[in-house]
Amino acid sequence: MSKINKLSLLSILFLTGQLVANDTDVCMSSPRPERVTVRHIEANGVGYDQGYTTLEGFFTTPSHLDSEWVPFLDLRGHIFNNGRGAANGGFGVRYIANSQVWGINTYYDFRHTTRRSYNQYGLGLECLGRVFDFRINGYLPFGKKQSSYYDTKFDHFKGNSLILSRKRELSFKGANAEVGAHVKLAKHFYLYAATGPYFIDHGSRNAWGGELRIALDLTKYVRVEGNVSYDRIFKGIGQGQLSLNAPFGAKQKIHRRKTNSCSREIMLRHRAVQRVDRDEIIVVEKRRTHAVATDPATGLPLFFVFVNNTSHSLGTFESPFPTLTQAQANSAPGNIILVSSGNGSPYADQPITLQNNQKLWGTGISYRLHTQQGNVTIPIMSAFPTISASSATFVAVTLANGNEVAGLNFANIKNNSIVGGNSNLAAIGITNANIHDNFFSGVGEANIGLYNCSGVLQIANNQMTTPNDDVIDIANANFPINSNVTIANNTISGSGGTGISVEAEATSGQMYLTVTNNNVSGSASNNFTLSEDAGTAQNVCATVANNTFTNSVSGAGFLIINGSSGKFNVAVSGNTFTGNSTGGFEDITTGGTTCVSLNFNNSVNNSTNAGYFLRNVTGTLQVENLANISSNNIGTVTQSGTITSVPVGNCSCQ
């Protein structure tokens, strides 16, 4: 054989050997490198209280599976069972070494609760092997890390303070580490178990915990997983999860490195595209804390003075004062005096003079209190405490500016006398008062007397029986006074005088008067009188609606007397007048101007006398739509003197 032929043969044999050697370095195709996963987890977890559904996409560059570096993008969107959302967006890179896959990743996490939105950075390190995995993740919230307080509630009293409880959401930073193991049970049938510690922290609120999870791949498309965890904040938790996977993307031929078998190379590619295991939901705790209630006007703690006739000494919740007299002597403006029924005996002969902006509350009703932390409800704590007297000259409560009196039973108070009138709850010349949800009974004079008082005056939801004189007596005289008076939802019976008496006798000024939803019956005189004597000039805008006035002994259901130079604008609607001695509604104008609206659904049922008696003596009496009063109301109409019909709307307040 020639030398040339020998060389050609050797070249062919060498090239053939190289081709065979190269074929033995190429392994089977890689796994599909990308996937979309839908999964659902139930129920609550660390930092959330319900299950959620996830749509997840894992993306990479398929060609990188035959190299040492595999970059990836991981996007996840979550919807909680209550419709709130969360999301994760992360990227990373995994390095395929000879026997492990090393990875680093970073994530942005988002969560929206019913209270606010939270944001978080995440950083993770991985070492993924043929059997064992190790990973560590860190989580760092940024931006607003807590919500505003909400769900503020009364909790208890302590000393002279009210203690509130309220909730607040807190997001936690943290970290977790995990060791996992892969066990192949059959083709496409794998078991994965992992366990490790975690740590969560929000300032002084922190905890260590531990987690164990087990996942079972039933096929390459279906995975079921369960996990349990425990820490001292969220306690023991168990969860179950179902995942449906849809892998896609072009498979790549993998070249075997000299030190590895094909099975190892393929296994490493599987690890390079497996899911990044991390805590994907930002940890948020709904925490209830306690705080002292503070005054929204001053920012200082609200101060309560407690009264209980079974106790003695300090005026605190734990040791109340036994008498109203001691409460008065040891309280300050703006304090709340809270009176318990104690042993049920009356607080007898203990007149109290309130200071500005004090509240005098009995514990027989609940209270809605405005605090700097929010509105709270103080619950009923005892029966109605009773205030009584044996003295013939006794004023139970004397008001100052801005007082509230509620939840008390005024009983058997005698012939009480104050300057300007008779009353067992009285005020002269003060501004703003709120008197509600009290009982008044017995043989006293007027139950409530407000004389020359201005500002916002409210009398509501009281029950009043058998006084010797007017039940509610509001009288202004000798001063210019502006006031807004509301008398609503009271039950008044058996008055020795007038049920409701409003005397607008100031020298000038404006009174806005609202009388609604009261039930007034059996007054010795009129059930309701609105009057103004000759010579005074206060203007009145009155709404009298949806009241029931029945069985006045010697008067009308509602009587207007205008004898001044002022003007009355009065709208009367939806009232029921039954069995009143001199008629249902009566207007007597002897000076000034009275403009009356009787257009809407009043009803008079009297056996005698007029239903609606309109009488002008020397003043000006205007009546809206005079000709149609009978068609708009039930009852007869009687007219006397000159009465001017004016269009609907003329009697509205100017």
Distance from C-alpha of 640 to C-alpha of 179, rounded to nearest angstrom: 101
Establish how many alpha carbons lie within 13 A of residue 338's alpha carbon, considering only the half-sphere containing its beta carbon.
28
Summarize the confidence of residues 443-453 as an average pLDDT.
Answer: 75
pLDDT score, position 495: 78
* pLDDT in the model for residue 584: 87
Regarding predicted confidence, which is higher, 257 or 128? Answer: 128
Mean pLDDT for the chain overall: 88
Position 392 scores a pLDDT of: 58
Q: List the structure tokens of 14.
A: 């060498």
**pLDDT(508) > 50:** yes
Higher pLDDT, 495 or 596: 596
Residue 296 confidence (pLDDT) above 90: yes
Of the listed ranges 13-22, 82-91, 430-439, 605-614, the least confidently predicted one is: 13-22
Percentage of residues in the chain having pLDDT higher than 90:
59
pLDDT interval class at 356 (50, 70, 90): very high
Average pLDDT score over residue span 392-418 = 76
pLDDT over 60 at 23, yes or no? no
For the segment 628-647, what is each residue's pLDDT rounded down to a tens digit?
A: 888 888 888 888 889 999 99
Task: Check pLDDT > 80 for residue 14.
Answer: no
More confident: 508 or 426: 508
* Backbone torsions φ then ψ of 625, nearest 5 degrees: 50, 55
Q: Decide if pLDDT at 230 tops 60.
A: yes
Burial, 451: exposed, middle or buried (Cβ in 10 Å; 0-12, 13-18, 19+)? buried
**pLDDT tens, position by position, 325-336:** 999 999 999 999
Q: What pLDDT was estimated at residue 652?
A: 84
Helix, strand, or coil here: 505? Answer: strand
Task: Using DSSP, state whether 290 is helix, strand or coil.
Answer: strand
DSSP string, 415-449: S--BTTB-BSEEEES-EEEEEES-EEESS-SBSEE
**Rounded average pLDDT over 570-575:** 92
Contacts of 13 (CB under 8 A, 6+ apart): none
188-219 tens-digit pLDDT: 788 999 999 999 999 889 999 999 999 999 98
Whether residue 22 has pLDDT greater than 70: no
Backbone phi and psi for residue 352, each to the nearest 5 degrees, phi listed first: -130, 130
pLDDT in tens, 299-308: 999 999 999 9
Could you tell me the two tokens for 410? Answer: 């005024």
Q: Are 119 and 142 in contact (CB under 8 A)?
A: yes
Q: What pLDDT was estimated at residue 62?
A: 87
Instruction: Please report the pLDDT score of residue 469 as a whole number.
Output: 64
CATH node for 28-151+166-287: 2.40.160.160
Domain positions in the chain: 28-151+166-287, 470-646
With tokens 């027989």, the residue in question is 364
* Between 451 and 422, the higher pLDDT residue: 451
17 pLDDT more than 50:
no
The least confident of 234-238, 508-512, 545-549 is: 508-512
Q: Give the pLDDT of residue 420.
A: 37
Mean pLDDT of 305-331: 93
| pLDDT given at position 12 | 43
Cα distances (angstroms) measured from residue 102 to each of 184, 236, 274, 514: 22, 32, 12, 79
Whether residue 398 has pLDDT greater than 80: yes
The first and second tokens of residue 31, run together, are 């796994």
pLDDT of residue 242: 97
pLDDT for 323: 94
SS (H, E, C) 468-482: CCCCEEEEEECCECC
Per-residue pLDDT tens digits for 147-182: 999 999 999 999 999 999 999 999 999 999 999 999
